[in-house]
Amino acid sequence: MAELMQPGLMQPGLMPAAGVQLAAVAWLRWRMFVNGLRTGKSGTRSAGGIVLAVVLRMLLWPIFAVWILGPVALSGYVGWSAIANHQPTWLLALMTGIGFLWQFIGVSGSNIAAAMPTFDPASLLRFPLPFGRYLLLRLFLGLLTPSTVVGCLALLSAAVGVGVARPELLPVAVAGFGLYALANVFCARMIGIWLDRVLARRRGREIFGGLLAIVVVSFQFVQFGRVRHVHMPRGHVPGSEQQSWIIATALRSAHAMHWLPPGFAADSVLHSASLAAVAGNLVLLAAWAALFLAGFGVRLHRQFLGEYLSDSLAPAARRSTAARRAPVRPVPQQQAMRSRFPLLPALLRKEWLTLRSNSGQLMGLLTPPIFVWIVSRGSFGSHPDYLLSGAVAYAILGPMSAAYNVFGPEGPGVQLYLLAPLRLRDVVLAKNIASGMILMAEAALAWVIAVSASKTAIAPATQVATALWLIFVLLANLTVGTMRSIQSPRKFAPGQSNQMRSAPTGRTSALLAVALVLGSLLLQVPVIRIGRHLHEPWLGVWVFGALAAAGAAGYVMLLMHVDAMMLRNRDVLERELCGV
Amino acid sequence: MAPAIETAALTRRFGDFTAVRDVGLRVEPGQFYGFLGPNGAGKSTTIKMLTGLLAPTSGTIRILGEDLTANSPALKQQIGVVPEGMALFGRLTAREYLRFVGRMYGLDRDTAGQRTEELLDFMSLAGEDRKLVTDFSHGMQKKLALAAAVIHGPRVLFLDEPFEGVDAVAAGTLKAMLQRMTARGVTIFLTSHVLEIVERLCTHIGIIHRGELVAQGSIEELRERAHGRAGELNGPRPLEEIFLEIVGTERDGSEAAHPPEELSWLS
């Protein structure tokens, strides 16, 4: 320890080398990733947990593959086709589409980095980092988001497509699209950091949540295939003039795009005959990238200097403190203890207060029924056998994930349940009632919408079978969800800005919810087919009735053992919800 | 020699709420300075500003004679902090964490490794090398945060409740270490609600109340001031009495509105 007693061993004013600090942060991320694979105190994940996680990922890998490989393959094809078929607007449209989706998914979508064990990069501010180094770190940390990965791969694929069509264009395409990728990365970072500023305040989060819901819902109304009726001269053969109105609008505004990054990226390839034009486009594209970087840097510098994001929160906190000071009518001790079942209503009231104070979550509950309404008006409306259960499954799929991490939003508050003289079964039951009521409300809305939108009447047997299927799905999910909530809890603060874009459950739990809902939904297909073959329309009722009974039995068994289960896993709950 | 810590008219507002108002601190090199105040008085906000984590709304901060805003990265090299929330990385082991912190402060790999082992031994954390920090008890996390704060040999050390949750044996060792550090010229700025610890360790005290620095000086000076107020002649008064006298007399009426008699249901 003697050496530690020497003050200022580092020379005053001598900054640590950039390479040392950057390597240290890279090593930190690696160790956090490796240690994130550990779940128990022993440092190993249980064999069952590993198998479950691997099987679920294998089952759902095709879905992810479509999300990644689809855009990448399409971009390559469009890039090739634009050059081979002399369709310059296609390349512009491709660049615009990639850029739009990159930013939109970045703002609204899931985030791989958020689902991993991570840390707040702002915590690095306590170390002696110059601003430039901090900027570099903030650019690299969390770079592996789905939007960045898919966007970069799509642009690479587009460049390869262009190169296949005309090999001499490959270097220009790589340079132009590479710069465009950089501009998108900087733009996403700029939007993200300014958004964090807005989302640091509760009012901002509410407005943003509402706007996002409106944008997502509005997007469903955009019908790309809808033909725009154009008055053509008599005898004119319908052809390319009859375009989708959205494409026509995009083409009309294409000239504006030439001054934006997608235009410069496309033009750097399309005007490759002139070296000056290529250089000009690349320089202007680099200027856009620099502008985005500056937009990011300006806000980051404010944070670097110690900006407090939610400056307006303190007065609100004071008001609530003042409100709590209102005089309370004293209640005698005996009278206070007289109520025999105060727990369930109290817990339900707490769940309601939590939901009520999170308007973003409330708005999220409105979105699925609107989607159901839109989808029901389409071709699905002609398939009454599948419409109802499909609509209900879709409506409950999103809110279902919350049932897989019911203790997550409590954080360290979960200790109260373990400390108070209460049956943990009551706590679980109250939470499941709250989750079940939300899911039932969503299902009921979807049900009404589907029945009213169906082009033919939905048979009573189908409706009864769907109701029984719904009971099974709810009970099965609440059973599995409760087990996951206890065995794999995950701290989740729905009202905090840096968590707003992350999922309320871990990926394995989310995959389980999807597998249970969609798996049981797919079970309806053979049941309906066999029922038709046997001329037995009520077959579904028997099958799903049996499943609902099994689900109920499983749920009752869970409730009987849930106290012991929670006590067995209290160290997990403590570590995951109350730890650092 | 320039003061180790010097602030002038330091103010921090959050919206229309002023957390810290016109605070003028002066801490000389080698002083063990105790910064006291009731809950919500502005202690942690002040420490955050002094360590560059929070920008002041107005006023100046000079650390080791240099302006903090202008020389923030270079000054951070000279300071060590145990912040309010400890700011540990829960998904690392203690050894990994200390090595990382050492490297971030520019120590070479060997020195960082050697000091890590020394500190783990000193803090009795060497046997916990398989555990992640998130699995540590609160006291162990405090010890680790303190180890991380001193690994680079800082000249100024900011400690926000460093002994909270630390066992008596470890606390004794840590106090001895901190006193040796001040003897060698390190300045320590400490906040704690345990006034006995502050009284035993600190040579100088600052008391903040409702965002304003209401008293500052050596313990003897504060005693003299309290002595003058109370007019007592019966020997030195404990710090707790002095603190309660300074802060208690300036409390608002909110506590008085809820006298203990109201909690009549308490047996």
- pLDDT confidence of B188, banded at 50, 70, 90? very high
Average pLDDT over residues A566-579: 82
Give residue A550's pLDDT band: very low, low, confident or very high (50, 70, 90): very high
**Residue B148 with chain A: CB contacts under 8 Å:** none
Best probe of the A interface among B77, B82, B93, B137, by most A CBs < 10 A, is: B77
Q: What tokens appear for A510 in the block?
A: 């989310």
Lookup: tokens for B256: 């008085």
Inter-chain touch B77–A128, beta carbons under 8 Å: yes
Least confident range of A35-39, A376-380, A429-433, A503-507: A503-507
Q: What is the pLDDT of residue A330?
A: 56
For residue A218, what pLDDT is reported? 66
Verify whether the Cβ–Cβ distance A24 to B104 is below 8 Å. yes
Give the model confidence (pLDDT) of B58-105 as tens digits. Answer: 999 999 999 998 888 889 899 999 988 878 888 889 999 999 999 999
Is there a contact between A114 and A501 (Cβ–Cβ < 8 Å)? yes
Specify the pLDDT at position A476: 93
Residues 6 or more apart whose Cβ sits within 8 Å of residue A12: B64, B74, B77, B78, B155
Assess whether pLDDT exceeds 90 at residue A475: yes
Mean pLDDT, all residues of chain B: 86
Please list every residue in chain B whose beta carbon sits closer than 8 Å to the beta carbon of residue A13.
Answer: 74, 77
pLDDT 10s digits, A152-171: 999 999 999 999 999 999 99
**Residue in chain A lying closest to B69 (CA):** A305
A46-55, A206-215, A551-560: least confident range? A46-55
The band of B1, judged by pLDDT with boundaries at 50, 70 and 90, is confident
B-chain CB neighbours of A332 within 8 Å are: 265
Chain A interface test: which of B131, B132, B150, B261 (most A C-beta within 10 Å): B132
Provide the CA B89 distance to its chain's centre, in angstroms: 20
* Closest in A1, A7, A580 to B185, CB measured: A7
Contacts of residue B36, Cβ cutoff 8 Å, sequence gap at least 6? B43, B191, B192, B195, B198, B205, B206, B207, B208, B243
Mean per-residue pLDDT, B104-124: 92
Q: Is residue A499 very low, low, confident or very high in pLDDT (cuts 50, 70, 90)?
A: very low
**Residue A489 and residue A576 in contact, taking contact as beta carbons nearer than 8 Å:** yes
Residue A236: burial class (beta carbons within 10 Å; 0-12, 13-18, 19+): exposed
pLDDT at B156: 95
Which of A6, A22, A28 has the most B C-beta neighbours within 10 Å, making it the best mutation to test the interface with B? Answer: A28
- The domains of chain A are located at 61-226+243-311, 342-578
Is pLDDT larger for residue B34 or for residue A509?
A: B34
Note the pLDDT of residue A525: 78
The per-residue DSSP string of B121-161 comes to: HHTT-GGGTTSBGGGS-HHHHHHHHHHHHHTT--SEEEEES
Q: Quick one: pLDDT at residue A549?
A: 95
What residues form DSSP beta bridges with A123? none
Structure tokens that stand for A482 in this block: 């409760």
Collect all residues of chain A within an 8 Å Cβ-Cβ radius of residue B177.
1
pLDDT by residue (tens digit) across A91-122? 998 999 999 888 887 776 544 333 344 567 88
Do the chains contact at B265 and A332, CB–CB below 8 Å? yes
Phi-psi label, residue A310: left if phi above 0, alpha if psi -120 to 50, beta otherwise: beta
The neighbour count for residue A448, using CB atoms within 10 Å, is: 14
Q: What is the pLDDT of residue B23?
A: 95
**Partner-chain contact B14 A130, CB within 8 Å:** no
Mean pLDDT of chain A, nearest integer: 78
Distances (CA, A) of A565 to A127, A367, B37: 43, 35, 44
User: What pLDDT does A497 receive?
Assistant: 42
**Which of A24, A306, A312 shows the shortest C-beta gap to B52?**
A306
Of B15, B133, B181, the CB nearest to A311: B15
Spell out which residues of chain A touch residue B115, defining contact as CB-CB under 8 Å. Answer: 3-4
Q: Answer yes or no: is pLDDT of B186 > 80.
A: yes
pLDDT digits (tens, 9 = 90+) for A27-63: 888 888 788 766 555 455 566 666 766 676 666 666 6
The vertex-A78 CA angle with A280 and A175, nearest 5°, equals: 30
Q: Mean pLDDT, to the nearest integer, of A546-565?
A: 93
Give me the mean pLDDT over the B42-67 stretch: 92
Chain B: residue whose CA lies nearest to A124: B104
pLDDT at A49: 66
- Local confidence band at A321 (pLDDT 50, 70, 90 cut-offs): very low
Nearest residue on chain A to B57, alpha-carbon basis? A307
- Count of other CB atoms within 10 angstroms of residue A217: 15
Specify which of A360-374, A469-483, B72-86, B119-133 reaches the highest per-range mean pLDDT.
A469-483
- Angle between helical axes of A424-453 and A384-400 (0-180°, round to 10): 140
Show Cβ contacts of residue A285 under 8 Å, excluding neighbours closer than 6 positions.
Answer: A176, A179, A180, A183, A261, A264, A265, A268
Which structure tokens are listed for A580?
């650092």
Whether the per-residue pLDDT at A5 is higher than 70: the answer is no
Place A513 in a pLDDT band, splitting at 50, 70 and 90: confident
Lowest pLDDT segment from A274-283, A347-356, A463-472, B216-225: A347-356
> Using CB atoms, which residue from A8, A27, A119 is nearest to B78?
A8
| A119/B89 CB distance under 8 A | yes
- Per-residue pLDDT reduced to its tens digit, A227-285: 444 444 544 444 444 555 666 776 677 778 888 999 999 999 998 888 899 999 999 99
Tell me the C-alpha distance between A28 and A18, whole Å: 15
* pLDDT band, very low/low/confident/very high, at B256 (cuts 50, 70, 90): very low
- Whether the per-residue pLDDT at A378 is higher than 70: the answer is no
Q: Which of the four pLDDT bands, split at 50, 70 and 90, describes residue B260?
A: low
Confidence of residue A323 (pLDDT cuts 50, 70, 90): very low
Which of A207-221, A275-289, A316-330 shows the lowest per-residue confidence on average (mean pLDDT)? A316-330
B224 contacts: CB under 8 Å, gap ≥ 6 = none
Question: What pTM was computed for the model?
Answer: 0.71
Residue of A nearest to B183 (CA): A5
The per-residue pLDDT for A8 is 42
> Residue B7 is encoded by which pair of tokens?
């602030």
Count the helix, strand and coil residues of chain B and give each as a percent rounded to the nearest 5. 40, 25, 40
Contact: A31, B91; criterion CB under 8 Å? yes
Across the interface, whether the CB atoms of A7 and B103 are under 8 A apart is answered no
SS3 labels along A170-239:
HHHHHHHHHHHHHHHHHHHHHHHHHHHHHHCCHHHHHHHHHHHHHHHHHHHHCCCCCECCCCCCCCCCCC
Nearest residue of B to residue A5, measured between CA atoms: B181
Tokens 């105190």 identify what position? A41
Q: What percent of chain A has pLDDT over 90?
A: 24
| Residue B22 pLDDT > 90 | yes
Residue to mutate among B49, B71, B89, B130, with most A CBs inside 10 A, is B89
Q: Hey, are the CB atoms on A306 and B54 less than 8 Å from each other?
A: yes
DSSP H or E segment with residue B66: strand B66-67
The residues that bridge with B82 in the sheet, in sequence order, are B159
CB-based burial, A412-440: b 16+ in 10 Å, e otherwise: eebeebeeeebebebbbbbbbebbbebbe
